[in-house]
Structures are given as structure tokens and as C-alpha cells.
Structure 1
């Protein structure tokens, strides 16, 4: 598929699967409100302003936010899987497997962040600071793109081992096309930035409504991004 087909398909995909979109919008709204209000409570507690709020409530808010976030992430891995095979329907909900895949993805992200960080630290010992900084930035960009490919490998195979095959993940970047991947990532970043500006502006007036808007728009963009990622990988 060319980029035009991928982007148009990805933008329409959430609207063609309204049931799944609504379910995860509800989850996203709850996660957005619980995460947002808990963060505000922590800040107020730290400033000594919000002593009325119980710490137990904050902990429950964090747990709820983490659980719902992992469920959404696990489902989106399946959205990538469906998209790799160019299916137009939405995945079913399989909480156990999808939660497991979400945890696997956490491991993948840690590894793909840890490796360039270690390399950067080693280089900084032997090279000038500005040279090691430039190399470090390049490494982090490369590994971020490789992590995206690792996510697709995890989605396709449900295998942590496949996802951690760093050399093969990097090879996938060039099979798909570096420019296509960067374009998709930048587009999602721009959309996400607009989303957070809008929700933050609304939160200045009412953080519950801001959390609601954040939840709705976040889930739509997440659907779009994972659909586009899977369709890109379908060209491998």
C-alpha cells in the first residue's frame, strides 16, 4: 500500500469499527480522568494544599490508570496485528492475552531504550561531549524506529523473542522505507501535540471535561496510529 492509501484507511478505520472505538473511548475517558485527577492530587499534596485527599485514593487512581492503559495497549497490539493482515474488522477482546502482550511490550520498550543508553554512556567516556551527544541522539532515533518494528513483530507473532531480535527489527525499517516510517511517526506526533494543547486548554476551566476530551481524542489517535503502523508493516 502507498502512503495515501495507508493514511486514508487509518483515518477511517476507527469510524468503521464504532463498537470497539466506543468501548475504548469509555476506557480512555476513565483512564484520562483517573490519571489526570490523581496527578493533580499528587501535585497539590506535594505543595501541602490538598491534605483532604486520602493517599489511598491516589494509589487506587494510579492502579486504575495503569490497568486500563495496559488493556488499551494490549488491544492496540491486536489492532496492529489485524492491520498487518489488512483486515478491516476490529479484534475481539481477549483480556488475558492482550494484557500479557502489553506487559511484553513494556519489556521491549525498556530494552530498546536501555541499549542505546548504554552505548551512549560508553562512547561518552572516550569521545568529546558534543560528538557523543550527536551520536547518542542518532542512536535513540534509530532504536525508537526499531522499537516500532519490534512492536509489529510482537503483534504478528505474539512472541517476545521475535520482538527482541534487534538486528531483524532494524532490517525491517529499510524493508518498509525509512521516510514512510518517519512521516507516519511525525504525523501522529503532530496530531498528539494538538490533542494535548486542546485538552490542556479545556482543563484550565474544568479538568474533568479536559480529561474526557483527552480520553476521546487519545483513543481515536491511538487507533489511527496503530492501524497505520500495521499497514506499513504489511509491506514487509
Structure 2
């Protein structure tokens, strides 16, 4: 399946079941409750704290649902999965663990290089010289581990095993099978599509009060379903 076919399929996929699309949109809406309160000027500490807790729960749930979407894509199912609060929440927590593990490593690596290159604990002259080298290394390291994280989450969706997602050796093999260049191109195209979709939907924000709600619902559901579907189809190529 070519990258063009993967993107085309994934763009159409969210709208194949409008009812589930709206349900995912509502979940996305609650996951961003804190930002909505901020847009509405809510300044109550209790309400903001409560919104943060609710938002975290729904964010994890949305992440877990994304894993289900990816699994369906890997299995070449064109349906949107049913919502399962408990399993989606558990998978969301596991997905968070995977992301933390894959981004702790590059943070540690970049800190080590920051010390070596003189970006940390150096004088002004060394600092200026070291920052350039440090920035290049940091970007490269984070890009590579972002690629590993994408494949690791897909591997988790495929196997259902947290250990398989954290098996870096197997993840690297999957990356080789898919192709680093293809994954990077996929990420670039996906970001462009998400930005364009976000800009279009953001026009709804001009509608007082309810516009932000509708925009968040639509773009939240689209990004979740589009991106998760695309990752699954990409991983199926391994």
C-alpha cells in the first residue's frame, strides 16, 4: 500500500461512521476541558482543577481508543471500533508509559551531549559554540525516537503487549522493514494535513461560545481517527 493510498484512506476513514465520529469528538472535547475553560475566562481554582482531572481521564481514554483504531487498521478493518471505557482507559495508560519511556531516553542523551558540547556548565563563548552543536544533535535524536515511538505504539496495538512495545530491538527491526524515509515522509504529510484541517475548522471559532465547542469536537475527532488509522496502515507494511 503506497503512502498516497494510506493518506487517502485515512482522510476518508473518520467520516465512515458519523455517530462514532461524534462520540470521539465529545471525548476529545472533554479531554480539552481546561483549555475551553481558559477560552471562556473561567478562573475558579476548583473548576480548573476539576477540569484538569476530567481532561486527563478523557485524554487517556482517547489515547486508548486510538490504539483500538490502529489495531483495526493493522487488521485491515474499515470499521470504527466501539468505545470501551475500561479497556480504552487501561490502553491509554499503557500508551502513556510507552511515550514516556521513548522520550526519557532522548532527554538523557541530549543532556549528556549538552554537557559534552559545553551547552551546560560552560562560559559564554563556549555556550554559544556549544548550543549550535547541541541543537542539531537534540533534533536528530528526538526525531529518531519519535519514529521509534510511532512504531512502538503500533506494535502495542498489534500485539496488545506492553513488553513488545518496549522491545527496542524489535521496534528497530519494524522501522527497518517500513523504512525510515517512508515514516518521516508520512509524519510530514500528516502534520501538513492536520494543520490544514485545523485552520479550516478554526473558522467555526468565529461563532460566539458554541463555535469553539464545535471546532474542538470536529478537529479532535478527525485528528484522532485520521492519524491512528494512518499509523496502523503504515505499520501493516512491516
* Aligned equivalent of 1:168: 170
* Aligned equivalent of 1:7: 7
CA distance in 2, matches of 1:200, 1:232: 28
* Aligned equivalent of 1:77: 67
CA distance in 1, matches of 2:117, 2:22: 52
Task: Decide which of 67, 91, 109 is 1:101's aligned counterpart.
Answer: 91
Distance 1:59 1:185, change over 3 A: same
* Aligned equivalent of 2:116: 126
* Secondary structure, aligned partner of 2:80: coil
- Correspondence 1:114 to 2:113: no
CA distance in 2, matches of 1:148, 1:140: 12
CA distance in 2, matches of 1:132, 1:167: 26
Shift in Å, 1:195: 4.3
Shift in Å, 1:190: 1.8
Structure 1 segments, 4+ long, off by >3 Å, are 29-32, 194-208
* Aligned equivalent of 1:217: 219
* Aligned equivalent of 2:148: 146
Unpaired segments ≥5 residues, structure 2: 119-129
Q: Which moved more, 1:104-113 or 1:208-217?
A: 208-217
CA distance in 2, matches of 1:142, 1:185: 12
1:188–1:221: 8 Å Cα contact kept in structure 2? no
* Aligned equivalent of 1:28: 28
* Secondary structure, aligned partner of 1:92: coil
CA deviation digits over 1:70-126, x for unaligned, max 9? Answer: 211111100001101111122222221211110111111111111011111112222
1:31–1:215: 8 Å Cα contact kept in structure 2? no
Aligned residue-pair number: 226
* Secondary structure, aligned partner of 2:81: coil
Unpaired segments ≥5 residues, structure 1: 45-49
CA distance in 2, matches of 1:86, 1:201: 34
CA distance in 2, matches of 1:5, 1:89: 17
The TM-score, its normalising length taken from structure 2, stands at 0.85
